[in-house]
Amino acid sequence: MDTKYIEPFIEATINVFREFYKEEPILRSPFLFDKEENLGWDLSAVIGIAGETKGVVSISFPKNLIIQLTEKLVGHEIDSLNDDVIDSTGEIVNIIAGNAKKGLEQYRLVISLPSIVEGPDHKIAWPTSSMPIITIPFDTSLGPFHLSVGLEDIIK
C-alpha cells in the first residue's frame, strides 16, 4: 500500500479536529477496506473527487461521537442525528478533502458537494472499479471514527 498520498488527508483531519472541536485525534494503523464489510457506523459523509483523477473521501462516526462533537459546535445538547449534526458532518468532510488538496497539488482536483449516509450499521456504495479504499482509524477522547480515501491510479 502506497500511503504517501493519504498523508494530506491525515494531516487535514487532525487539523480540522483540533481547530473545530478542540480534539487531538490519535492516528491508528490504516488498512485496506473490504467494500462488503460493515463497520457499525451510524453516520457517514461522502465527497467525490474529480479532475486529474477520480476518487472518494468519507468520514464515518458512531451516533454518540458525532452528536457530542456537534454539541461542541452549537453549544447546546442534541438528542438525535438532526440537521445540525448532518450539516456539520458534511462540512467536516468538505474541509478535510479541500485541505488535503494542498498536499496533492501535483494533481488538479475538484471536490463535489458532500452526501450523507445515515442508518445503523450502514454500508456505503463504493465505486465498483478496482479502486482500493484505504481506511484510516482515529481515536478521540470521545470515541473512534474512520476516514476512508480512494484515489484512482494514485493510491494503489
Partner 1 sequence: MKILVVDDSRIMRTIVKNSLLQNNSALYSFLEADNGVDAFNILEREHVDLLLVDWNMPHLNGLDLVKELRILPKYKNLPIIMITSEAAKYNVIEAVKAGVNDYLVKPVDDKKLLLKIEQVMSIN
| CB proximity list for 8: less than 8 A, separation 6 or greater | 99, 100, 101, 102, 103, 104
Piece in contact with partner 1 (CB under 8 A), picked from 23-31, 57-65, 100-108, 135-143: 100-108
**Residue for cell digits 486529474?**
52
CB-wise, 113 or 125, nearer to partner 1? 113
CB-wise, 89 or 148, nearer to partner 1? 89
Cα–Cα–Cα angle for 112, 114, 115, rounded to 5 degrees: 120
Residue 130 CB-half CA count within 13 A: 3
Identified binder of partner 1 from the candidate list 91, 118, 139, 152, rule CB under 8 A = 91
> Does 48 contact partner 1 by CB under 8 A?
no
> Does 95 contact partner 1 by CB under 8 A?
yes
CB-wise, 53 or 94, nearer to partner 1? 94
Identified binder of partner 1 from the candidate list 63, 71, 84, 122, rule CB under 8 A = 84
DSSP state, 20? I
Task: Give Dmax (Cα) for the chain.
Answer: 44
Which helix (H) or strand (E) segment is 47 a member of? strand 43-51
> Does 102 contact partner 1 by CB under 8 A?
yes
Torsion of CA 54, 106, 148, 150, to 10 degrees: 30
CB-wise, 20 or 126, nearer to partner 1? 20
Binding site for partner 1 (CB under 8 A): 15-16, 19-20, 70, 73-74, 83-84, 87-88, 90-91, 94-102, 104-105, 108-109, 111, 113
